[in-house]
Structure 1
């Protein structure tokens, strides 16, 4: 059954690449409201392509968003699509997004980020791997069934948005609103918005959550000359450095009391999963440009990145950071840091303990300055059940296409939609990536290889087939 489908994909791969080039050319940067019209354009193109394949499409209105300027603007719609439903078949819902991170040639790109460029089998351009390439691969998988006159063996629905890179504004509310309608007959939800850990195909069963913090210390009414006032006042920067230094030690241990108490214990079944992952510490050192990690073994490094919490300090706003010398005491500074949390940590509990800790440290300094701690994001971690039938289908599909056993991995970053879908709909959720570990999503010279793009399309075709064998097991 799969052979003619795979042949169609091979014969049409240049056409599929050309279509990716058309999508990459649309600068759908969701971080810039001035570009939201481009997001609308691409969503409409996506909707039209689905209609051409026989699907029905609703452009769901998700309301407005207030910009920092105070202006209220309409959000790009969300594409809700479905193909003719057969009650005897399982129903698969595919999620993806078509917006991208900002990109400019002068940021260090070797090619124009919005012109698809193929070099040595790699397709370079913003959004190629995150997430335009995978979204197109799903559409091409459906096209492949229809073009070869084979019946799509599962019911297919799609959710495609254009605001994922800035927090998926409106999607959670839409999910709740559509729970008894659009999602009512869904059995499985699949997300292809991440990458493999190594050169081996992977299935992803967990992500870390995230809370982002702003720590502001407000002092004198204006910046002061350090030669005139240095040594005679409580400097906001000194307070802030002390506060940030109280959060984490040199081993990476989070020092906020009680914040890691709820971390789920490591079980032997999970521990063994890390042993089978094809992962090179030396290669990762070269990629990161570091001489050593805080941990010593492959397993320890992977667990530190995936299944244990971490705290990272990201920057200080208000401090002098330009080249040259400026002997100023800044009047107000804001530190920025985040905590990646894991099961069974709760964002609200993490945020409360962080605030209490910082307030206690600040009080111990007896500073007359003003402290403000603001927590944002608050995205929950997500973990799936590897015994879920959907993962069985995913493993079989990888064997069908690549002839290898997939790696079962977790993701260190935060993808809130996975947890939101699982929690709000109660449906089975799986992440099925096709991007490679060196694709550079969000970075300069983002790419997806032609191999991963085309073989990934075959993977989606095989996954649909394998999933059709699981009716009644969801």
Structure 2
């Protein structure tokens, strides 16, 4: 592989926004570019069709008795809106103060190229490396991976031969301290819509007679959190895995303080719930967030209407042991119970995903039946990172 930075820049230039059909060409370009990169370093690539964006399934298989690792990533990115808030064009990568900026730099094109570049160098030095490698690169991660369950069912026998999977969708704080991510939070994504009158109404004529959908929406949303910031949905925290002492000790090694984190985000204060510190809350706690709220007149000036409908986009980030199906049902039931009779509630399912959590060997909560291959992978990562970076990795949930 040529200069990985230049390769990454070219990859970023493809506007691969999976949620918007207007970016279909960018999705195709990113997919084809990733395919070429994999083929250049010796992989056989199969483009697996889906109802939306195809999945890349690439193999370098030698002896079936060799260890087998699957590397996962995705080629789609989040929308770059609002564009006016970007210092530079989001899909034209720019280097400033030693950092590369552009949509997808960190999520997920950068990590993907890091692993490809590392493999390229290793395979150049050791073309007969006794390791089977499979890449799975999807194009729908940013919209909830709707095609992945069917894909895994379709290729279950082939993928089940692997010893473990490496998720190429995480990061480290700097080049001096490497973090191995042991958990990724799960997701419940939904949109609720409240409908009142059949059309917008003049508030001077009809105000006081009908329930304003925006008012009803704000009242419902305001009940979903307690004053301390915790989620006010019955049963939401019932199955949450506790934070273990060894995890808090690992977090103490993380090269960031609460104050540096606050300064980076430029917020006046933090608002963590359930007794967690801000740095703990983003790793160990589940959340309920409002990602977008709308309804009524949004233009300049005033328009004195009672809107016919209002909506809220809501996501929950879940931690280990929380069942997204259960959480989705609990949240929807709570919203239904708190919805006033003067409006009609509808619901759009935006998808769900389970939280992912693995524990390094020799920890108090390491599963007794942890596969030997996974334990070997942890120990190999420990040794390799200590050798190349001069210190052991930190193991943290994300």
Show the counterpart of 2:90: 113
What's the counterpart of residue 377 of structure 1? 351
Contact 1:197–1:409 under 8 Å retained in 2: no
Q: Residue 112 and residue 247 in structure 1: after superposition, are their counterparts in 2 closer, same or farther (change >3 A)? A: closer
- Alignment of 1:187 onto 2:175: no
Aligned-pair distance for 1:28? 2.5
CA offsets per residue over residues 103-124 of structure 1, 9 Å max, x none? 4794333333333333332223
CA contact (8 A) 1:210 1:341 kept: yes
Unaligned runs of 5+ residues in structure 1 are 1-11, 65-74, 412-474
Mark the CA change 1:313 to 1:137 in structure 2 (over 3 Å): closer, same or farther: closer
- Is the counterpart of residue 303 in structure 1 residue 277 in structure 2? no
TM-score, structure 2 as length reference: 0.87
**Equivalent residue number for residue 28 of structure 1:** 16
Contact 1:104 1:113 in 2 (8 A): no
Out of 38, 42, 48, the position equivalent to 2:26 is 38
Whether the aligned pair in 1 keeps the contact of 2:144 and 2:352 (CA below 8 Å) is no
Q: 1:399 aligns with which of 382, 386, 397?
A: 386
Change (3 A) 1:158 1:87: same
2:293 pairs with one of 316, 328, 331: 316
Shift of 1:374: 4.2
Structure 2, unmatched stretches of 5+, are 362-373
1:339 is aligned, of 316, 324, 327, to 316
Q: Deviations over 1:435-461 (max 9, x none)?
A: xxxxxxxxxxxxxxxxxxxxxxxxxxx
The within-5 A match list for 1:349-360 is 349-360=326-337
> Hey, what's the Cα distance between the residues in 1 that align with 2:43 and 2:349?
42
Shift of 1:311: 1.5
Counterpart contact for 1:92–1:156, Cα < 8 Å? yes
Deviation at 1:88, TM superposition (A): 4.1
Out of 210, 219, 222, the residue aligned to residue 233 of structure 1 is 210
Find the counterpart in structure 2 of residue 158 from structure 1: 135
Q: Does 1:293 align with 2:267?
A: no
1:6 is aligned to none
The 1:35/1:282 distance shift into structure 2, 3 A limit, reads same
SS at match of 2:76: coil
SS at 1:205 equivalent: strand
Between Structure 1 and Structure 2, how many residues are aligned?
A: 384
Are the counterparts in 1 of residues 91 and 102 from structure 2 also a CA contact under 8 Å?
Answer: yes
The alignment status of 1:19 with 2:7, answered yes or no, reads yes
Distance 1:164 1:280 in 2: 30
1:169-204 C-alpha deviation (Å, 9 max, x unpaired): 4222111111112x1321121112122256631010
TM-score by length of 1: 0.74
What secondary structure does 1:337 align onto? strand
C-alpha contact (below 8 Å) 1:274/1:299 kept by paired residues = no
